[in-house]
Structure 1
Amino acid sequence: MLQISNLYATAAIAVIGGGLFGFDISSMSAIINTEAYLCYFHQGVMKYKDGKPQCKGPSADVQGGITASMAGGSWLGALCSGFISDNFGRKHSIMIGAVIWCIGCILVCASQNIAMLIVGRVINGISVGICSAQVPVYISEIYSLLYAPPTKRGRLVGLQQWAITWGIMIMFYISYGCSYIKGVAAFRIPWGLQMIPAILLFFGMMLLPESPRWLARKDRWEECHAVLALVHGHADPQSPFVVREYEEIKAMCEFERENADVSYLELMSPSMINRTHVGIFTQIWSQLTGMNVMMYYITYVFAMAGLEGNNLLVSSSIQYVINVVMTVPALVWVDHWGRRPTLLLGAVGMLTFLFANAGLMASYGHAAPRGGLNKIEAQSWIIRGPPSKALIACTYLFVACYAITWGPVSWVYPPELFPLRVRGKANALCTSSNWAFNFALGYFVPPAFVNIKWQVYLLFGVFCAAMFLHVFFMFPETTGKTLEDVEKIFTDPSGLPYIGRPAWKTKNEHGRAAMLERVGFQDEEKPVASMRVHEVTD
């Protein structure tokens, strides 16, 4: 069978798995305010006015549960992804995720009631959890360990976040277009169309090779050698680089077999606990930024600012365009900026606009009538005039701050903290923490708008202040560093935990790594060695 070996073609196909999450986010955010959705999933006795039904849809608590159900499934899928990936392979685990996604979409599209909708979204979530955890691992094991030097490492893994932003934007506009359709087709069609990217992912993955490292761990050495020759030797199995890499993979496997099998408990060992805590909290903080408010429930926020109908959906869609566009500078320059400055500046920017929104709503807004604006409980506040325009502007600026900082870096940073031997399970654990908090916040926000109203923004602003302090004191810089350099940050030469190097004193090594790469390229006999300067096996 034809197999694709081009770096960017492989990454473009694999990251469709990340796009599935984006499709799910906006398929809900664009639909929850439409009349078709509100009437079909209405709870309680239907009331009529002038012969027209007054649909308020699910209660705030139930809507939170519907939205959060996908993240709950993702948490389970991310935890299981390590087992699935280790047994069936990186490539096939992503394909399994694509099949599960299609099953979930069928149930969601055919939903007859809220319970069926929730079950379908949980199944969708299991797919997203598997793909979001294993796509970065697959890309890393195929390419970033070999062809992506420290000066470009973030760009490749960060494509996962860019795929998510594209998925969000595309699905929102599909849902927006379908909102003009009368009846339940307004939400069934976009929910059904969600299957298309999963189908493309499934068949696209057929054209990609399996991870050579996974093949080696399964003693499938001939296939491992063939993949290395295809991807890195222009189909020449005797290529000096292919031979060298093949021998290093063999040495890595021998090392792993002489040591105990990696388990999640090892990630809690004294030599790993600090980096595990940093990786997990990177994903947790990315959720506690408050981005969920903007992604899942932006139509609620803009409705409170006085937008309605066509203007509401078009204005909401602008933030998704901003999300896509502002992720590009991060992909291009994040390896120059460094991880720490990017995370710190992002936290400051986001807390600024969250506090600004809280201040605007508190100073110029007032509570909506009982039952919420437009009879939707979560639309519990009203703000009008110039302050409402300022609220919308601050929302856009908040999204821009997230897209250029925490959005991509939260996916790039955790895998850089761990040695190859534990990276698969470590990434699954970190990703599962992301989904656990995604679930909690997806459920929390609608009731929070009902009960604490504008203080929701204040709460997330405090989280951003806390994450700034946490990053400053505990998150070391990994930009431009080899695995060996990262290892020295967390352990002393004897391998014991080492806390004598404060995180704020770690430096961006991009300049040094770039110089080493340039020096390496001058040696035509060793073109690949220069590309691999950043990877030293443990």
Structure 2
Amino acid sequence: MSSPVSSRNSKSSHPEAPKEEAVTETILSNTLEYEQQLHSAAPKLHGRKLTAAIAFVAGTGFTLFGYDQGVMSALLSAKQTSTVPSYHAECSPAAKRGSFIMIEGSLITFGIMVSYWIDFALFWASGSSAQWRVPIALQIVFAMIMIAGILYVSHEVVTLTASRSLKISAQLPESPRWLAKEGRNIEALAVICALEDKPYDDPLVQQTYLGIREAVAVESGSDTGRSSLREIFTGGRSQNFRRAFLGVVNQCFQQITGINLITYYATLLFERLGIDDVKSRIIAACNGTEYFLASLIAIFIIDRIGRRKLMLFGAVGQCLTMVLLAILGSIDNSAAQIVSAVLLFVFNSFFAVGWLGMTWLYPAEIVGLRIRAPANAFSTASNWIFNFMVVMVTGPSFNNISWGTYIALNAFIIPVVYFFFPETAGRSLEDMDVVFALAYNEGVSPVQVSLRKDVPLAGTPEADEILGLRSRHDEVKVDKREKE
């Protein structure tokens, strides 16, 4: 993300970026697209757990000391942003998955808040390269902490033995879904036991394990085998294309809401309201602080309220806020300017609750296991592509039709979410395979099925029948040969 607080003499914070910046952004966007193609294969070779952390440190180093700073940091940042949500979603229980990934969203806004205040402090170092090197260098500290946690934090993993279980100390485990997809079923079962803190023959562990095995088998006809990009464009019971497309659209919607207009150009917006340059930067930093605090709300309500309601709440609130900003923009007095400044804080609050973490949660839970890595790569690529578009078109659209651009875009989001986005709250990742297969079998919308209470859970004989699989209930229970 670009630094939200510009330097005293910087032109980059202005919506109408110079031509040279436009060329750089174009190269950057194309590079990101290519990187997402490369990334879709990375988890298959190395797993999900190290990809993000190594990319983070490497990207920061290249940015500090390399010549192609924008390209290298974008390459490795994109790898990180499409890997972490997948790993987190695949290791989280269904009942708390939303809350856990909303924490990621809050950490994003925490970083934005810190960057605002750091950049404000460095605002006074005009003309020195420290103005941009110091904020970037500080990111290494957090990346090193992340790598240390991944490599050295011990995690208790249950290994399967004839004596029922044996606890050993191991590093942070790979995702059980990824392990199963690679055919490492015993390891997958061991990780499930560790995450649930239950023995391997516990009903919950067995049901989760069965559901994952079914997810691996449902599109391939076997328990192993690698996916291909072509599978993303298939339909049938799996509805892969529809699900991957929902993830892409979800990421696009986050970018077109108008949040980056405020995040990137907050200082300029406050200056246009007649506030001097120093105060406008202080208010922008306060805006970032409020943004972080508002993001904490979603952590506590996402799993109780559900994904659809929060997305609709956010879009409606954002649309109404933009309407009020448009009305106040035609009133030329200090009171209207103060209210407009407050509304920028309000907009951030609606976005933080409804959309901030949602676009990292929803694409990871809506797609099937076999296509999760490439589908998330595509959805993340769409996020960065639309981020590029926001940077390029914000100036012309804002100057020509003011807030109307974002009123229209937020209004468009509402019916699309209502009619096309299924609810994923409270369901395991494998349960969503059953939801889409049942909708296909009955010829109805997946949205309708997702709101029903009678959908069989993944791993049950009823779910096997819906998915077109022979029952694995007795087949995949661990026998003595597997224990050895």
TM-score range, shorter chain: 0.7 to 0.9
Change (3 A) 1:255 1:81: same
* Equivalent-residue separation in structure 2 for 1:463 and 1:354 (angstroms): 10
Change (3 A) 1:478 1:91: closer
Counterpart secondary structure, 2:119? helix
Counterpart secondary structure, 1:407? coil
Structure 1 residue aligned with 2:166: none
Counterpart secondary structure, 2:357? helix
Change (3 A) 1:268 1:244: closer
* Equivalent-residue separation in structure 2 for 1:136 and 1:233 (angstroms): 22
Shift of 1:392: 0.9
Candidates 318, 325, 328, aligned match of 1:360: 328
Q: Deviations over 1:130-169 (max 9, x none)?
A: 111111111233x21xxx23x3221112222112111111
* Equivalent-residue separation in structure 1 for 2:313 and 2:437 (angstroms): 28
Change (3 A) 1:132 1:481: same
Question: Where in structure 2 are the equivalents of 1:199-348 lying within 5 Å?
Answer: 199-207=144-152, 208-218=172-182, 258-259=221-222, 261-270=226-235, 271-348=239-316
Change (3 A) 1:416 1:385: same
Cα contact 2:215–2:369 (8 A) shared by 1: no
Candidates 19, 32, 37, aligned match of 1:79: 37
Cα contact 2:62–2:69 (8 A) shared by 1: yes
1:446 aligns with 2:395: yes
Structure 2 residue aligned with 1:105: 63
* Equivalent-residue separation in structure 1 for 2:286 and 2:26 (angstroms): 24
5+ residue gaps in structure 1?
Answer: 1-23, 43-55, 111-115, 366-383, 514-538
Structure 1 residue aligned with 2:375: 426
Cα contact 1:78–1:429 (8 A) shared by 2: yes
Change (3 A) 1:460 1:66: farther
Q: TM-score, normalised by structure 1?
A: 0.70
1:34 aligns with 2:1: no
Change (3 A) 1:491 1:232: closer
Q: TM-score, normalised by structure 2?
A: 0.78
1:470 aligns with 2:416: yes
* Equivalent-residue separation in structure 2 for 1:198 and 1:279 (angstroms): 27
Candidates 131, 137, 149, aligned match of 1:192: 137
Return the letter of the residue paired with 1:430: S
Structure 2 residue aligned with 1:397: 346
Shift of 1:400: 0.6
Structure 1 residue aligned with 2:98: 154
Counterpart secondary structure, 2:423? coil
| Percent of residue pairs bearing the same amino acid type | 25
* Equivalent-residue separation in structure 2 for 1:202 and 1:70 (angstroms): 26
Change (3 A) 1:414 1:442: same
Shift of 1:483: 4.6
* Equivalent-residue separation in structure 1 for 2:43 and 2:151 (angstroms): 16
Structure 1 residue aligned with 2:461: none
* Equivalent-residue separation in structure 2 for 1:419 and 1:68 (angstroms): 32
* Equivalent-residue separation in structure 1 for 2:15 and 2:221 (angstroms): 59
1:174 aligns with 2:118: yes
Structure 2 residue aligned with 1:377: none
Return the letter of the residue paired with 1:167: G
Counterpart secondary structure, 1:183? coil
Change (3 A) 1:251 1:29: closer
Shift of 1:444: 1.9
Question: Where in structure 2 are the equivalents of 1:85-96 lying within 5 Å?
Answer: 85-96=43-54
Cα contact 2:366–2:432 (8 A) shared by 1: yes
Q: Deviations over 1:177-224 (max 9, x none)?
A: 122234312233223323322232233321233334444555667766
Shift of 1:395: 1.0
* Equivalent-residue separation in structure 2 for 1:417 and 1:240 (angstroms): 25
Counterpart secondary structure, 2:356? helix
Counterpart secondary structure, 1:479? coil
Return the letter of the residue paired with 1:487: D
Return the letter of the residue paired with 1:426: A
Shift of 1:313: 0.9
Change (3 A) 1:64 1:324: farther
Shift of 1:387: 2.0
CA RMSD of aligned residues (A): 3.5
Change (3 A) 1:195 1:436: same
Structure 2 residue aligned with 1:17: none
Structure 1 residue aligned with 2:164: none
Change (3 A) 1:504 1:317: farther
Return the letter of the residue paired with 1:436: I
Cα contact 1:69–1:125 (8 A) shared by 2: no
Cα contact 1:70–1:123 (8 A) shared by 2: no
Cα contact 1:289–1:464 (8 A) shared by 2: yes
1:163 aligns with 2:107: yes
Return the letter of the residue paired with 2:88: I
Cα contact 1:358–1:457 (8 A) shared by 2: yes
Return the letter of the residue paired with 1:101: G
* Equivalent-residue separation in structure 2 for 1:487 and 1:215 (angstroms): 19
* Equivalent-residue separation in structure 2 for 1:216 and 1:347 (angstroms): 37
Q: Deviations over 1:362-396 (max 9, x none)?
A: x136xxxxxxxxxxxxxxxxxx6222212211111
Q: Deviations over 1:8-34 (max 9, x none)?
A: xxxxxxxxxxxxxxxx34xx2212x42
Change (3 A) 1:386 1:426: same
Cα contact 1:350–1:402 (8 A) shared by 2: yes
Structure 1 residue aligned with 2:406: 460
Return the letter of the residue paired with 1:302: F
Q: Deviations over 1:221-247 (max 9, x none)?
A: 77667656665559x899998788778
Shift of 1:174: 1.2
Cα contact 1:178–1:186 (8 A) shared by 2: yes
5+ residue gaps in structure 2?
Answer: 153-171, 458-484
Counterpart secondary structure, 2:403? helix
* Equivalent-residue separation in structure 2 for 1:75 and 1:29 (angstroms): 24
Structure 1 residue aligned with 2:319: 351
Cα contact 2:48–2:174 (8 A) shared by 1: yes
Shift of 1:82: 1.7
Larger displacement relative to structure 2 (303-312 or 241-250): 241-250
* Equivalent-residue separation in structure 2 for 1:133 and 1:172 (angstroms): 25
Shift of 1:465: 0.7
The total of aligned residue pairs comes to 431
